[in-house]
Amino acid sequence: MRTRTLALGVLAVALPTSIAFGRVLGSRFRGAPAFELAGRPVGGAKPASATPAHLTGSRIMAAGDGALVIDADSGALVKTDKAGKNIGQVAIARDAGLMTFDAAAGIAYVADRKNDRIAVVKTDRMTIASSITTPAEPYGVALTPDRKLLLVSTIADRTLVTYGVASGTET
């Protein structure tokens, strides 16, 4: 009987203490507060302007109300509408690398790793207009700000090569 009374006494003291301790800890660890700046940005800096898409390479690019997407498994460049519905595609090659998109000209430059080339795609009809032969396994692509040169990085050779957009020749 004495053991039972002792156990009930310990429980009667421990239970309220545990609940109170849990409330204190819970109030401290309810999750991280949302990040926000109070006041002006540091140094009075202004937000940077958006980087034009043609200055970068990616597997997906905004194109009008939709997007251009490289499906590396099938090797297709797919054009979608704003709902994500396929509205056109063209076969490039399996394991295609990155692309860049010149929205002003309506041309996508897609790295075709398998065939050592850059496929130049007219996106209004989703057709390959021309190809630019590269040294070996192109991967990354970007246009210069004036859109006159195409920058191509190659995986196998570890090189960066520039091509004239109008001529398709190495510069």
Which CATH topology does 53-164 take? Methylamine Dehydrogenase; Chain H (2.130.10)
* One-letter amino acid of 99: M
Whether this model's pTM surpasses 0.75: no
Neighbours of 72 (CB within 10 A): 15
In 3D space, the residue among 151, 145, 27 whose CA is nearest the CA of residue 98 turns out to be: 151
Whole-angstrom distance, CA of residue 77 vs CA of residue 88: 8
pLDDT per residue, tens digit, the chain (171 aa), is: 556 555 555 545 555 665 655 666 555 555 555 656 566 656 666 766 666 777 788 899 988 889 999 998 899 999 999 899 999 999 999 989 999 999 999 999 999 999 999 999 999 999 999 999 998 899 999 999 999 999 999 988 889 999 999 999 999
CB distance 68 to 61 below 8 Å: yes
**What are the residue ranges spanned by the domains of the chain?**
1-30, 53-164
Q: How far, rounded to the nearest angstrom, does the alpha carbon of residue 28 sit from its chain's CA centroid? A: 36
Task: Quote the pLDDT of residue 91.
Answer: 96
Neighbours of 92 (CB within 10 A): 28
CB distance 99 to 58 below 8 Å: yes
